[in-house]
Every structure is written in C-alpha cells, then in structure tokens.
A and B are shown apart, each in its own frame.
Chain A
Amino acid sequence: MRVTNNLIYGQSSNAISKANERYMDVQEKIAAQTNIIKASDDPVGASQVLQYESSNQKLRQYDDAMSMAASNLEYQEVALDSLNSLLDDARSLLIQGQNEINTQADVDAISQELAIMVESMADLMNSKSAEGDYIFAGTDTSSPAFVLGNDGRYEWAGNESQKFAQISEGMKIAVTDSGKKLFEDVWARNNFSAHVESGEANLATEIRHQGDFDAFMDEHYDPINPLNNHYRLTTFAQGEEPTLVSQVESALDANGDVIEETAEQELADQLGDVLKEEEYDNRPYFGPSGQYVLTNSFGEEVASGEYHPSKPIVFEGMSFSINSAPGAVIDFELNPPRRDNVLNEIKKTLSIISDEDSSMAEREKAFFDATTSITNTQSSIGQGRSSIGARMNTLSDKGNVNSASQLSNAIAQDKVGGLDVGAAATDLAMAESALTASQKLFSRINNLSLFNQI
C-alpha cells in the first residue's frame, strides 16, 4: 500500500480526536456519577431508570399520604380515649346516684356534675383536627358533628361518608370514622310497654333480666308487621278456660285490611296507661292463686304457668307484678329498638332524676337507660379504637414495605444507571494513555519526512 501524506496526517488526527472524545465521555460520566448520560448510552437502562425513579416518587407520595393518615388516626384515637374515660367517670357517678340513701340535694349535685360531663363529651365528639376539621363529622367537616337543638337534644349533623387515603397502588385506607357509627347509632335500652286491657290489675312492669329480654327482642321483634309484637297475658282462676283471641285477626276487617285504631281509642289506651300508673298501689295483694297463659298476636300460647298474685310473672326477662285476683287481661308490646347518642340518653336521665316528683321505679329505669347507653357507647368506641389500631398497624406495615421498596428501587436504579467507579477509573486511565500515545506518535511522524534529510 502506498502511504501518502493524507493518510499519515489523517490517521493521526483521527486517532487524537477519537482519544479526546473517549476521554471526554469518561470524564462526563464521572462528573455526573452515572453510566447513562444520554438515553442512547443504554436505551433500556435509561427507561428503566425513569421507571424506578417514577416508582420511587410514587412511593414517596404514598409515604406522605401515610403520615397524614397516621396523624388523622392518632387524633381520633386520642379523642376516643378521652371520651372513654369520661364515660367511665359518668358511669361511676350514675352508680353513685342510684344509691337510695342520696337526698335530692345529693342527686342534684351529681346531675350537675354529669351535665358538665355531657358538655365535655359533646366537645370531644365535636373534636377538631389541626386543619380545623370536625374529625367525627364524616366528610361534612366544616360544621360540628353534633348540634345542640332548641329542644335540648344533641342532633347528628354530619354524614356517614369516610375520608380515605391512598396508601399504596391498590390500597385505600379510611382515615376518618363517622360519629354516626361511633356515637349516634348506639342502641338505647330495649323496652316494652304494657297496659291492662280488662279485669282488675295493679300492674307494675320492669325488665328483670335485660340480657334475656335483649335476646328475646333479637329473635322475635318484627319490624315489618308491628302487630306481631303484641302479646297478651291472661290470668284466670284454677279450673277456668281462658279465651284466646288472635289480635292479628281482630285487627283485620272483613277484607283482611288492617283496621286503623281510631284517635279516641289511641287516646283512651294512653290515658289508661297513665291512670294505671297513678293508681298503682304499693300494698301487696294476697288472694287466691290461679293460672296464667301468655299468647302471641295470633292467640297461640307461648307460655303458661301458675299465677301467685303476690309474685311477679317473669317471661323472657320481663317481669309483670299484677297484684290482683286472677281474671285480668294485660296487653303488652315490644317497643321498637331505638338508637340515640349517649348525650341525649344521659340528659334524659338527668331530667328524670332531678325531678323531685319522679318515682323510685322511674329513677331506676332512668339510671338503667343511661348506664346501658354508656356501656353500648363504650363498646362502639372500643370497636372504633380497635379498627383504628388495626389501620395504624397496616400503616406501619405498609410504611416498612414502602421504605424497603424504595431502598430496593434505589439499589436497582443505581445498578442500572449508577457509575461503575472502578470501570470508569480504568476507562479514564486508558483514555488518558491512548491520548498521550497518539500525541507522541504524531510528533514522531511529524519528523519522518525525506525532505528533512535532503
């Protein structure tokens, strides 16, 4: 091959510029601490790095959401905890108030203290977060969850929705709990009402065993057809036959439609109840015993037994003291289960116990109503707290997973796009020596001309 000047100079200038280029490339990579300066350095890697980075940013975003969620839940936890201990205090005050030695003045003092406690409870139920949101108001957080109405009742004013936080790609977690579920929809004490339909009776009723009665309610209460909640207790002398009437049939007219109770009848029923209460005679009745039978609304026998006038008849936790000779017909019905918040229940109790004219039985019922509501609210709060606790655990688990994923992402990102320092240092040394070598070569070639010799 003919070696020409173009070739000699062209080749060495090429070599020098190539060596320079290589040197600059390595230098740039070292300066940026990455193997991927341009997407073309490693197209797949560049897109992977972007994906890892995206994924990490997403994870950090979930981190933020989780810390927000945790602080929300902690707020609730604190409020519920304080409410729970307030309820404990209220219960012991109520038990103290139940003591028959208390004078009305003592009871008034207790009820005043309770009234203040109710206000603090209401304040806790209307807790606000740092952002000024009412945390138990569902999503309607700009106004209080419970509002004191003109009638002195605390009315639920929030909604049932929950606020959620996205804590991972496929997982949402509720960060608020509605006060409706926690406080408002708490069962009040189940009850029944009775009146003397015919015959002579000095009737007093109470719930002897609330548990038995609740179980009976659960099983037999019919929300669709209220007539099925009517029962009849008939007492009769030994050897007589009672007439069993189906209330369901008698409530229907010839066409099978329900006969509406007239306004007068309804009034009479109510007045009857009141009169019976007023006429109630504390003196025990002694007389001949007899039999009783308890029928349901179809006139079918549900229970029967001996009737001793001085002893109450107890049926599924309900106790009937009739205190009269056999031959009375007593109708009773299961009152629809009722939900209300503990504030109203306590306030109702307070209004009864602070009334001097309230009877012992009424007071007892009132105390019982309030403690039942407190117990039920505490169990609802307990459920709420355990659910919050479970969510906090989920958050901390997810948080751990999140930081682990972020770390592994960062490692993977570094593996793909990070600078291989050893390789880069070697490359740099090689590029450097290549550059020096080609420069030296050039200066040698420069002197290699025959014209220099002649």
Chain B
Amino acid sequence: MGSNLYGIGLSGLQSSNARINTTGQNTANVDTEGYSRQKTNTSSSHVGGVEVRDTTRLVDNMINSQVRADTSNHSYYETYHNMMSLSDGLLAEDSVSLNNYLNDAFKALQAVNNDPASPGLRNLAHSSLGSLVEQYKVLSGMTAEQSRTVDNQLAASLTDLNALTKQVAKLNDEILQQESNSFSPANELRDQQELLAVKISEYIDTKTQFNDEGVMSISLANGQPLVLDRLAPELEMEPDPLDPKRIKLTVDLGRHEVGIKSEDLGGSIGALVDYRRDFSIDTDRTLGQSAISIADAMNQQNALGIDANGLLGRDLFSFADIKIQADKANTGKTPDLEVRVSPGNSANILKDTYELIKTGDSSFLVQTYDLNGEPSRRTATIDASAAPDKKGFYQVAELGVDLKLGDLSDYEMGDTFQFSPTQGMASTFQLAAKNGDDLALSGPMNVYTDSGNLSEAKISLSSVTNTNPDSSAFASNHGLYPNAPHSIHFMSNNEFQVRDANGGVLTSIDNVQDYQNLLEQAGLAEKAGFDVSLSSMPMAGDVFSMDMENIGVSNNFNGLLLGELQNENLVAGRQSVSESFSDLVAQVGSKSAELEGNVKSSEIIMNQSMARRDSISAVSLDEEAVNLLKYQQSYSASAQVITAARTTFETLLGAVR
C-alpha cells in the first residue's frame, strides 16, 4: 500500500512536471508564428496514480483551411491592388495626364494657325506634337515596365512556391518517421507544415487534404497536384507561342507537362496573372488604339493640305509594323504576310486580337477575339481573287486594317496567324514630320472670282476630301490635271457649266437652287477631291475659277481642320482622344477603388478567421499563468503525497520499535 502511495505520488509529480513542461513550451512559443498551443493529456491509471498519455496540439482543421482560403483571397486582392495603385496614383497626376499634352499640342496648332507663316510657331507646334508622342511612349513604357515587374514577380513567386511545396513534401516524410517512433504526434513539425501551407495559399489558392496517416497533400483549386505525399511537381511558366505577351502555366509531372488554366488561380500569382491579362494588356492596347486614332486622323488631314514647302502634306506620324505570330500547326510555308493600319479607317480598329485563317482557295477569314480570348461578333472575309491595291494590300476597312497576303501558294487551308494591331503601338509611335514646315496648314488650292462678274458673289473652297494624284484632281507635279474642273461659268443665275483647263465643258447643270458645293451638284466633287461654294446668288456671265497657284503663306484652311480633330470622335468612332484617356483614368480608378474595397473586406474576413484560429490554437499567457500555478500546486500536492507516504511509513516503523 505504501509503495503504491509512493507510486501515486510519483505519477502525480511526473504528470505535473509534464504539464509544467507543456505550459513552459506554450509560454515560450507565445510569439512563434504558426505555433499551436499544446496540451498534455493524462488518464487515471487502474493501478493507481495518473498516466501521461501524449501531448497534442489544439487545432481545428476546418478553421485552419478557412484561414488558408481567406489568406489566399486577401493576398489576391492585395497584390492586385498594389499593382493597380501604381497606375492609379500616376494617371491622375497632371504631369502624366495625356490630356495635358494633347491640349498643349492643339494649343500650339491653334497658335500657328494664327500665324502660319511664322517658322517659330511652326516649330513650337512640331515640338508639342513631339512631346505628345513622347508622352504616349512614357505611358506605354510605364505599362511595359509594370508588365516586366509582373513577369519578374511571377517568376520569383513560382520559384518560392516550388521551394515551399518541396519543404511540405519533405516534412511529410519527417513527420511519418518521427510519429512512428513516438506516441506523441510530431506537433512542431505539423505546425511548421501548416505554416508552409498558409504561405503557399498566399501565392495560390489551394486545397489541402490529409490521408489516414495524416500526410498532407496540396492541390490547386482546379485539382492539379502541388504536393503528393513526398512528391512536389514544379509549377512553371512559359510564353504563349501565338501571343508572346500572354503566358501559360504548366505543372511538370516528370514524364509529361500539364497546362493549367490561368483563370481563377487565386493568391498573389492569380492576381499577377489577372492583372497582366485584364489591365496591363488592356491599358497598352487602349493607348495603342488612341495613338493610332490620332495619328491616322492627323496624317489623313495633313495629306489634304500644303506644307510650308508648297508640297502636299506627308504623314506626320508613323508606327512600326504590326507583329504577326504564325500558329505552329500551320502547314504552309511562311508567307510574306504584312499588316498595317488601314489609312483613314482607324476608327474601326479594335483592341482585340485578330486571327487570319485561310478558309478557301482564295478566301480568308479575319476573326477577332476580345481580351478574354472570346471570339467577338466582328469578322470580315478577304476575297483574294480580287486584285489588291498598288502595294499589294487588301483593305479590311470594317476592322481598320489592311493585309498584304503575298504569294497565295504559301498558304495551306486552315493556316492561322494572329496579330493585335493596337498592342505595343503606343511605344513605337514616332513623329515622322521633320520640322514645323511639314505641317500642311494651307489649303491645297486657290479660288478666283472674276473681276468682270456682274454679281457680288464670292467663291470659296468649301471642302477638300482627296488629294491623292491617283484618284483626284490634284496632279503629283503640283497643279490640277488639265481635265479636272478649272472654272465654273454661270449661264443664268440657276444654270452653270463646269469647264476644264482648256475651256471644254465637263458638265452643265440647270435649275440650281442652292450655291453651296457646286461640284457636288454637278456630280464632280468626289472625282475632283474638292468642292467650292458661292457666298450669294451669281448672275449670268459670272465666272469663277480655281487652281493651285499663289496660295500664299498665311493660308490656314487645312490647319484649322487639323485643329478640329481635337474635338472629333476619333477613338473607335465614339470618343475624342482626351475622353478616351479620361475613360482610362476612370477605369483604373474604379478598378482600384473596387480592389481597395475588396482588400479591406478580405482583410477583415481573414483577420476574423485568424482570430477564430487563434482563439482555438493560440497561447493565452493569462491562461498559462493560471495553469502554471495550478500545475505547481498539483506538483506540491503530489510531493506532499510522497511526504505523507514517508510519514506513514515512519509512524509504522516507530510503532514497531
């Protein structure tokens, strides 16, 4: 009996000691990240005393997986928001805003319109246009820089993620070994493993499962494995062959690689992928679209005027060629395919990715895909049996591009090519005008009211629509073609003849009611490429004429039309260039604002899950203090039991003595 009392006392001391140890462990690890408080379990022994069974962690796997999911969600929004906030802060800034540069350029254009003869003002306008071009480059450079940052972050994140999954796999092994040698579970190792799992879910949204032996396996939300028992297949990134700006993620399973969908990955990696697709590419293309629109419109308008050197205006802006990617599966030879922005049709250009597919012997289909890769309803067909234009281009005006197909025998049925006309265009935007003299501010021609006219009607140039020597009255060697309209003779106040350079009658019109756009009434305006109007009713015998001589240095007919482009809906035919930029700012702002909300709410949710996890698994020092006192007491008590056993025994000895 006495020995039993010793035994009971000893087991009490041992169990108290174990508990004090556990308390000590808990207090020591109060600030250790991922530490779960431990508890020593005991049971009363049927032979008397107490038995220390094991020391386990207090964890709730459901709550822990909730923490991981919420962490992943928060990390997604936070990363996305961080990336966005850079653009968000910059775009609204005055010195960055494209609109300021646009306004400056047009202001300089108006100034030179007030004095077209001034070389100083011309050069000011030229350099303002140059700053505008530079600003497009700066903005597109910013997006390109961000794209590079995203790519670097993605690469670093993937390396980190792969290291983390390897550690988890390794811990699986160590946990099995340790647990097979001990009654107690491998508490610390499991804490570490779970901490790693949380870190992994910061990168990417995962599902974590434990098998019967408690081995952790991790897979992506869509089921692709990241940790399988002791294996950790690597997650890799590679560029999309059809579109190098896009990336593909693959899982390397040793024998083969499996591509994974890049949507809804979650975590910071998901955020980077989504940012890249939804924002980075979109912004780049929006800028490209805007640059193409203003450049094309100004080029077209400049061509309708005469520059300071007395020549028909040339292009003010230029772009690099549009890059084309051929599908690897194409069976034809690499053809001599070229794509350019269709001059004058830039309003139809889309931000989409275009795909050219050979669909018949001499027919091609152009299909467009939006930023999410969904086919849009805008398609066009090319009939290659028709003759292309002089330079070999087929016009696809409805989609705003011209395609040069080259040798048709180089194509096989089903061959596919992709290109995005707006992508990267803002960064290759160039000012082609050498100096202010290249601005074609002057109208291309002069009109004359004959001094012998009986009426006071004055002629004026009402419009210029085409100055191309191939298709208009304007000859390439400066002057109007002899067979183009040169003069208008009124037979009576409602009858007139349009005559050519030699006085031959081109057409006679009677019953004229209105003296606007006379050539249009005569059916000659389109062919001539210009039109004239009278200020009031003419009289019989009045003669009005036109030519390209003596236009003068102060003519700003075309300059004003160039200036008006500021207010015209150039971008996609719906918005002015400045509106389109304001829209981009609003878009970035609202996306950032939305993300900011998401960040806050996901943070609260994450903090709540953490709090729930903490309320189960974290250490409370107060609790531990109480426990410490309690176990100290039970230790003292057990010691007292031993003292009692000794006293009892001595009393017995004394009685015998």
Encode B554-589 as 1/0 by CB contact (under 8 A) with A: 111100100110110000000000110111011111
Q: Give the Cβ gap from B326 to chain A, nearest Cβ, in Å.
A: 39
Q: How far, in angstroms, from A66 to B250 measured CA to CA in the complex?
A: 64
Find out whether the CB atom of B618 lies under 8 angstroms from the CB atom of A7: yes
Encode B437-466 as 1/0 by CB contact (under 8 A) with A: 000001100111101101000111100000
The reply on B191 being an interface residue by CB < 8 A is: no
Encode A147-177 as 1/0 by CB contact (under 8 A) with B: 0000000000011111111100100100110
The reply on A184 being an interface residue by CB < 8 A is: yes
Contacts of B459 in A (CB 8 A): 160
Query: Nearest CB to that of A341 among chain B residues?
Result: B451
Find out whether the CB atom of A159 lies under 8 angstroms from the CB atom of B551: yes
Find out whether the CB atom of B118 lies under 8 angstroms from the CB atom of A131: yes
Q: Give the Cβ gap from B306 to chain A, nearest Cβ, in Å.
A: 11
Find out whether the CB atom of A140 lies under 8 angstroms from the CB atom of B113: no
Encode B591-625 as 1/0 by CB contact (under 8 A) with A: 11101100000000001001100111011111101
Find out whether the CB atom of B615 lies under 8 angstroms from the CB atom of A133: no
Find out whether the CB atom of A185 lies under 8 angstroms from the CB atom of B566: no
Partner of A181 from B442, B458, B607 at Cβ < 8 Å = B458
The reply on B107 being an interface residue by CB < 8 A is: yes
Find out whether the CB atom of A39 lies under 8 angstroms from the CB atom of B91: yes
| Stretch from A50-58, A76-84, A93-101, A294-302 contacting the other chain | A50-58
The reply on A2 being an interface residue by CB < 8 A is: yes
Find out whether the CB atom of A339 lies under 8 angstroms from the CB atom of B452: yes
The reply on B115 being an interface residue by CB < 8 A is: yes
The reply on A270 being an interface residue by CB < 8 A is: no
The reply on A65 being an interface residue by CB < 8 A is: yes
Find out whether the CB atom of B115 lies under 8 angstroms from the CB atom of A6: no
Partner of A166 from B97, B454, B564 at Cβ < 8 Å = B564
A42/B589 contact (C-beta < 8 A), A50-B99, A58-B103, A159-B550 known: yes
| Stretch from A205-213, A355-363, A420-428, A446-454 contacting the other chain | A446-454
Contacts of A161 in B (CB 8 A): 443, 446-447, 460-461, 551-552, 555, 557
Find out whether the CB atom of B610 lies under 8 angstroms from the CB atom of A10: yes
The reply on B30 being an interface residue by CB < 8 A is: yes
The reply on A255 being an interface residue by CB < 8 A is: no
Query: Nearest CB to that of A141 among chain B residues?
Result: B554
Query: Nearest CB to that of A161 among chain B residues?
Result: B555
Encode A113-137 as 1/0 by CB contact (under 8 A) with B: 0000000000000000001010001
Find out whether the CB atom of B589 lies under 8 angstroms from the CB atom of A185: no
The reply on B626 being an interface residue by CB < 8 A is: yes
Q: Give the Cβ gap from A193 to chain B, nearest Cβ, in Å.
A: 17
Q: Give the Cβ gap from A215 to chain B, nearest Cβ, in Å.
A: 14
Contacts of A223 in B (CB 8 A): 452, 454, 539-541
A44/B586 contact (C-beta < 8 A), A57-B107, A58-B566, A133-B117 known: yes
Find out whether the CB atom of B113 lies under 8 angstroms from the CB atom of A166: yes
Find out whether the CB atom of A7 lies under 8 angstroms from the CB atom of B110: no
Point out which of B102, B555, B581 has the most chain A C-beta atoms below 10 A from its C-beta.
B555
Find out whether the CB atom of B589 lies under 8 angstroms from the CB atom of A4: no
The reply on A195 being an interface residue by CB < 8 A is: no
Find out whether the CB atom of A46 lies under 8 angstroms from the CB atom of B589: yes
The reply on A92 being an interface residue by CB < 8 A is: no
Q: Give the Cβ gap from A60 to chain B, nearest Cβ, in Å.
A: 8
Contacts of A451 in B (CB 8 A): 621, 625
Contacts of B541 in A (CB 8 A): 223-224
Find out whether the CB atom of B113 lies under 8 angstroms from the CB atom of A160: no
Find out whether the CB atom of B117 lies under 8 angstroms from the CB atom of A40: no
Find out whether the CB atom of B106 lies under 8 angstroms from the CB atom of A61: yes
A185/B451 contact (C-beta < 8 A), A4-B614, A4-B620 known: yes
Point out which of A6, A57, A172 has the most chain B C-beta atoms below 10 A from its C-beta.
A6
Q: Give the Cβ gap from A98 to chain B, nearest Cβ, in Å.
A: 28
A51/B452 contact (C-beta < 8 A), A7-B614, A131-B115 known: no
The reply on A277 being an interface residue by CB < 8 A is: no
The reply on B152 being an interface residue by CB < 8 A is: no
Find out whether the CB atom of B615 lies under 8 angstroms from the CB atom of A39: no
Q: How far, in angstroms, from A172 to B113 measured CA to CA in the complex?
A: 12
Partner of A39 from B92, B107, B610 at Cβ < 8 Å = B92
The reply on A263 being an interface residue by CB < 8 A is: no
The reply on B70 being an interface residue by CB < 8 A is: no
Count how many chain B residues have C-beta atoms less than 8 Å from C-beta atoms of the other chain: 84
The reply on A254 being an interface residue by CB < 8 A is: no
Find out whether the CB atom of A46 lies under 8 angstroms from the CB atom of B585: yes
Q: Give the Cβ gap from A5 to chain B, nearest Cβ, in Å.
A: 5
The reply on B491 being an interface residue by CB < 8 A is: yes
Find out whether the CB atom of A450 lies under 8 angstroms from the CB atom of B622: yes
The reply on B590 being an interface residue by CB < 8 A is: yes
The reply on A436 being an interface residue by CB < 8 A is: no
Partner of B555 from A14, A36, A163, A180 at Cβ < 8 Å = A163
The reply on A3 being an interface residue by CB < 8 A is: yes
The reply on B318 being an interface residue by CB < 8 A is: no
Q: Give the Cβ gap from B632 to chain A, nearest Cβ, in Å.
A: 10
A221/B454 contact (C-beta < 8 A), A2-B620, A5-B619 known: yes
Partner of B586 from A43, A158, A165 at Cβ < 8 Å = A43
Q: Give the Cβ gap from A34 to chain B, nearest Cβ, in Å.
A: 10
Find out whether the CB atom of B554 lies under 8 angstroms from the CB atom of A139: yes
Point out which of B103, B116, B118, B448 has the most chain A C-beta atoms below 10 A from its C-beta.
B103
Q: Give the Cβ gap from B64 to chain A, nearest Cβ, in Å.
A: 14
Q: How far, in angstroms, from A162 to B449 measured CA to CA in the complex?
A: 13
Q: How far, in angstroms, from A388 to B629 measured CA to CA in the complex?
A: 103
Q: How far, in angstroms, from A140 to B454 measured CA to CA in the complex?
A: 25
Q: How far, in angstroms, from A40 to B589 measured CA to CA in the complex?
A: 4
Q: How far, in angstroms, from A43 to B461 measured CA to CA in the complex?
A: 45
Find out whether the CB atom of B621 lies under 8 angstroms from the CB atom of A449: yes
Contacts of B116 in A (CB 8 A): 163
Contacts of B85 in A (CB 8 A): 38, 40
Q: How far, in angstroms, from A139 to B620 measured CA to CA in the complex?
A: 90
Q: How far, in angstroms, from A388 to B588 measured CA to CA in the complex?
A: 49
Contacts of A166 in B (CB 8 A): 110, 113, 560, 563-564
Encode A221-233 as 1/0 by CB contact (under 8 A) with B: 1111000000000
Query: Nearest CB to that of A67 among chain B residues?
Result: B114
Contacts of A69 in B (CB 8 A): 114
| B window 131-183: CB within 8 A of A | none
Contacts of B91 in A (CB 8 A): 39
The reply on A1 being an interface residue by CB < 8 A is: yes
The reply on A272 being an interface residue by CB < 8 A is: no
The reply on A336 being an interface residue by CB < 8 A is: yes
Q: How far, in angstroms, from A57 to B105 measured CA to CA in the complex?
A: 11
Find out whether the CB atom of A40 lies under 8 angstroms from the CB atom of B88: yes
| A window 4-43: CB within 8 A of B | 4-7, 10, 14, 36-43
A184/B451 contact (C-beta < 8 A), A43-B590, A47-B585 known: yes
The reply on A64 being an interface residue by CB < 8 A is: yes
6 further interface pairs, Cβ-Cβ under 8 Å (given A10-B610, A43-B585): A5-B620, A43-B592, A50-B97, A131-B117, A133-B554, A450-B626
